[in-house]
């Protein structure tokens, strides 16, 4: 039986730890486009990156995996040599059953859990409600556009059940009130803002929105993963990554 795209993506990420080279065959070296601006295009830089990671302090734990058409998405914990503990999202686009494009968003793992005692990767992992994929994606699209980009907080309660939200952000804790307070603080200081959404991917109850904006006055990529239940947002994970100056990029493809 053929492995799913998300299973093969998981094998690729685990190969950073295992040093197994076979999963690299899932890439199409003729077309591969890299959006991690710290890496050059092509498979050579990936292989070099793998070789440079010390075997005794490299670990990969894939916490969540979803698949949406030609895309696979992973949410993972890493220990990456000198970089230490990291949290990351990985997106692969497939064409003719090979990976032709890659995006990611990474940040250091916080030393402490958030105020509700949650880490950036714990929580629910099971993908269910496959029949609700499209309606869940539509809800997250509307939420991202109306609440995060346009800042229309008056309708915020419509997206949650009785103000409940399991929150994995390192910046605030559970509940819609905490989220609303953070949004109002962002609006007041003007240093953090969502500007537009670039990509929306989902499978069943899990939906990832990839957006662009500013974080503490620096260009940034926002990756927000939502778990939905009964047509409401129930749980949220995120990674914010600032985008370095263009003159430091090692490819010309850009973050998005």
How confident is the model at residue 117, as a pLDDT? 98
Rounded average pLDDT over 176-200: 96
How confident is the model at residue 53, as a pLDDT? 86
pLDDT above 80: residue 121? yes
Tell me the pLDDT of the chain averaged across its residues: 95
Cβ-contact 101, 158 below 8 angstroms:
no
pLDDT above 90: residue 207? yes
Residue corresponding to tokens 């692969």? 92
The pLDDT-based confidence of 226 (bands split at 50, 70, 90) is very high
How confident is the model at residue 195, as a pLDDT? 98
- Three-state secondary structure call for residue 68: strand
List the one residue out of 241, 248, 250, 13 whose CA is nearest residue 108: 241
- Three-state secondary structure call for residue 25: helix
Sheet containing 232-242: give its strands across. 166-167, 232-242, 218-229, 206-215, 193-203
Rounded average pLDDT over 15-41: 91
The pLDDT-based confidence of 56 (bands split at 50, 70, 90) is confident
Contacts of range 73-79, beta carbons closer than 8 Å, 24 or more positions apart: 73/6, 73/9, 73/201, 73/208, 74/6, 74/9, 74/10, 74/13, 75/121, 75/225, 75/237, 76/13, 76/121, 77/109, 77/121, 78/16, 78/106
Rounded average pLDDT over 214-226: 97
How confident is the model at residue 82, as a pLDDT? 86
How confident is the model at residue 23, as a pLDDT? 86
pLDDT above 80: residue 1? no
How confident is the model at residue 54, as a pLDDT? 87
pLDDT above 90: residue 132? yes
How confident is the model at residue 20, as a pLDDT? 87
pLDDT above 90: residue 120? yes
The pLDDT-based confidence of 201 (bands split at 50, 70, 90) is very high
- Cα–Cα dist 72/205, whole Å: 15
Rounded to two decimals, the pTM is 0.97
Cβ-contact 226, 207 below 8 angstroms:
yes
- Cα–Cα dist 204/228, whole Å: 8
The pLDDT-based confidence of 246 (bands split at 50, 70, 90) is very high
List the one residue out of 108, 231, 226, 82 whose CA is nearest residue 167: 226
- Three-state secondary structure call for residue 230: coil
């Amino acid at each position: 039986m053929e492995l799913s795209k998300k299973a093969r993506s998981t094998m690729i990420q685990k190969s950073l730890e295992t040093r197994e080279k076979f999963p690299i065959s899932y890439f199409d070296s003729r077309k591969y486009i890299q959006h991690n601006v710290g890496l050059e295009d092509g498979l050579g830089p990936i292989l070099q990156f793998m070789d440079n990671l010390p075997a005794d302090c490299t670990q990969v734990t894939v916490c969540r995996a979803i698949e949406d058409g030609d895309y696979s998405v992973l949410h993972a914990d890493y220990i990456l040599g000198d970089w230490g503990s990291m949290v990351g999202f990985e997106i692969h686009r497939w064409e003719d059953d090979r990976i032709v494009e890659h995006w990611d968003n990474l940040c250091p793992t916080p030393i402490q859990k958030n105020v509700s005692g949650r880490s950036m990767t714990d929580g629910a992992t099971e993908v269910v409600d496959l029949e609700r994929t499209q309606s869940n994606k539509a809800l997250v699209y509307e939420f991202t556009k109306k609440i995060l980009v346009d800042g229309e907080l008056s309708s915020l309660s419509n997206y949650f059940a009785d103000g409940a939200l399991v929150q994995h952000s390192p910046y605030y804790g559970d509940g819609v009130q905490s989220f609303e307070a953070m949004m109002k603080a962002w609006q007041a200081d003007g240093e953090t803002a969502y500007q537009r959404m670039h990509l929306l991917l989902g499978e069943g109850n899990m939906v990832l929105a990839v957006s662009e904006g500013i974080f503490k006055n620096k260009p940034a990529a926002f990756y927000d993963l939502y778990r939905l239940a009964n047509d409401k947002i129930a749980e949220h994970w995120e990674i914010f990554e600032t985008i370095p100056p263009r003159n430091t990029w090692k490819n010309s493809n850009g973050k998005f």
